[in-house]
Amino acid sequence: MRMKEPPPQPVLSHESAGKLPPLRQRRWHAGALTYTYPALISLFFWLLWGDFALNMKERSGPPTLQLLLKKYHASDLVLALLITSLPQAMALFITPVVSYHSDRLQTRWGRRIPFILATTPLAVLALLGLAYSPVLGHALASLLHIRSQDAAIITSFGIFWAIFELCTIVGAAVVLPGLINDVVPRELLGRFYGMFRAVSLGAGMLFNWYLLKSVEEHYVLLFILIAVLYAVSFTLMCLKVREPDYSQEISKEDIAVAETHAAPATGELVATGATPAAGPSDAVPPTASRMGGFWAAVRTYFRECFGHSYYFWFFGSFALAAMAFTPINTFSIPFAQSIKMNMATYGKLSAIQLFVSLIQAYPIGWLCDRFHPLRITMLSLALYAISTLVAFLFVRTPFSFGIAHVVCGSCAGFWLTATAPLGPALLPRSRFAQFLSANHICTATGVLLFGAVVGWFLDVVHHQYHFIYLWACLLITSSLVVTFVLHRRFMKYGGPKGYVAPE
């Protein structure tokens, strides 16, 4: 992959900036990296290939575990605790530590890739452990003289699921988004995340259409194959993708910001379309990685992430939306089983829903680049609120469930695609992973508490699963209100054309 420091950029007027050179002559910049057109294609290929392996792991894990937990007679509360609350509880402690050190790490491999490489063997171990949990559970019951074989098997699933989620939190939730933010040119982020979502949806379609119907019988083989795919793909991605020299990037950002503050905007554009640095305090001080003491790091983390009220609205928008998705994501398979829908039909409906999301992924990415992801996010929240309200009122049969599953899932996919570039658009760039982890803390806190409440509630109402749509509607409407307030604050800080991330 051809990469070098970007040359000084000419300043062009709006008229001349609109006349772009041919693709073979164009250059795209991400910090201190410069990409030719072939290098950009190579970058996208390896990032998307790693994303495919990650999503095969992510798409297969939760639904397979749901089916296996029900097979071994887990209650809705236990299912919610393992699938929803346990991962969020772990995220509360893991994301701030990983993100803080990731933003400040300095190695010859970069600041993101070392974390991905370190967690790859753990992810493989977790997948293999999930594959053999029934065997290990039986052995555990015999060794410790546990009377309930099912309880021992569920315990084994829980242990390896915790390792599985540890890798997900470090890789998918914190480090990989930080890597993408560092290496993908900012003017292409919306379209890249559209492709990113398309790959994710393709992996989901493959799993749901061909594999979900047989996971209860062949889950061992499935987990082994995905473990091999994950290990090979992520290792190759880490070897092929290069991170920038962050010390040079910080210096360039400081210069750019100084020039921006010295001379007000005059309506001129940089030829490459690169966006200016977010602000003078975005650059991480050279001494940041040598800050003394754990509590000093904790104080710095919370002061930087929670020191400005503007970001409370950002965190609240995501947290409420994640809480809204929790009931349907956790209990849609038990709902389908309760109305006598077989898993082959459920899998095909899920694949259709993902195909709809796949078709809309790139256009939504384009819309985000054109109109700003925050505005497209508000549209997606409104659509999800309407669809879940209608589903609560009318879904009682396999046919109506199938329609709601496709429509509500597609609206949720709309939100996921729209919000993918929202963090890079609103958060300070050089501490991006740190702010992203603060968002995960708020989201995890909400989902941790709410997931257990929903599981308990469904046990109390004797598994009347149509209530999951009511919970979703109420929470997504709350998220929409919070996002409107966020948009008003966003406009005060410059809006789509002149936004500067506040400190």
Summarised one tens digit per residue, pLDDT across range 440-478 is 889 988 988 888 889 899 988 888 999 999 999 999 999
Q: Does 169 score more than 90 pLDDT?
A: no
Domain count for the chain = 1
For residue 449, tell me if it sits in a domain: yes
- Report the share of the chain in percent with pLDDT over 90: 39
Check residue 176 and give its pLDDT.
Answer: 85
Query: Binning pLDDT at 50, 70 and 90, where does residue 224 land?
Result: very high
For residue 63, tell me if it sits in a domain: yes
Q: Which of 148, 188, 171 is nearest to 37 (CA)?
A: 188
Q: Does 263 score more than 50 pLDDT?
A: no
Query: Binning pLDDT at 50, 70 and 90, where does residue 3 land?
Result: very low
Q: Give the pTM.
A: 0.65
The whole-number average pLDDT for the span 488-497 is 92
Q: Which of 362, 241, 335, 316 is nearest to 479 (CA)?
A: 316
Q: Which residues constitute the domain of residue 472?
A: 33-245+303-496
Check residue 402 and give its pLDDT.
Answer: 95
Check residue 322 and give its pLDDT.
Answer: 94
Check residue 26 and give its pLDDT.
Answer: 86
For residue 310, tell me if it sits in a domain: yes
CATH at residue 186:
1.20.1250.20
For residue 274, tell me if it sits in a domain: no
Check residue 212 and give its pLDDT.
Answer: 85
For residues 141 and 256, the answer to whether their CB atoms sit within 8 Å is no
Q: Distance (Å, rounded) from C-alpha 273 to C-alpha 65? A: 45
State the chain's mean pLDDT as an integer. Answer: 83
For residue 90, tell me if it sits in a domain: yes
Summarised one tens digit per residue, pLDDT across range 10-58 is 433 333 444 566 777 788 888 788 999 899 999 999 999 988 888 888 8
Q: Does 304 score more than 80 pLDDT?
A: yes
For residue 262, tell me if it sits in a domain: no
For residue 141, tell me if it sits in a domain: yes
Q: Residue 480 is encoded by which pair of tokens? A: 């929409």
Summarised one tens digit per residue, pLDDT across range 348-405 is 999 999 899 888 888 888 898 889 999 999 999 999 999 999 999 999 999 999 999 9
For residue 187, tell me if it sits in a domain: yes
Q: Which of 467, 462, 386, 380 is nearest to 418 (CA)?
A: 380
Check residue 289 and give its pLDDT.
Answer: 45
Query: Binning pLDDT at 50, 70 and 90, where does residue 424 land?
Result: confident
Check residue 295 and give its pLDDT.
Answer: 78
What number of helices (H) and strands (E) belong to the chain? 20, 4
Check residue 419 and give its pLDDT.
Answer: 93
Q: CA–CA distance from 189 to each of 274, 362, 417 (Å)?
A: 11, 11, 11
Q: Which of 406, 19, 482 is nearest to 205 (CA)?
A: 406
Query: Binning pLDDT at 50, 70 and 90, where does residue 436 land?
Result: confident
Query: Binning pLDDT at 50, 70 and 90, where does residue 266 land?
Result: very low
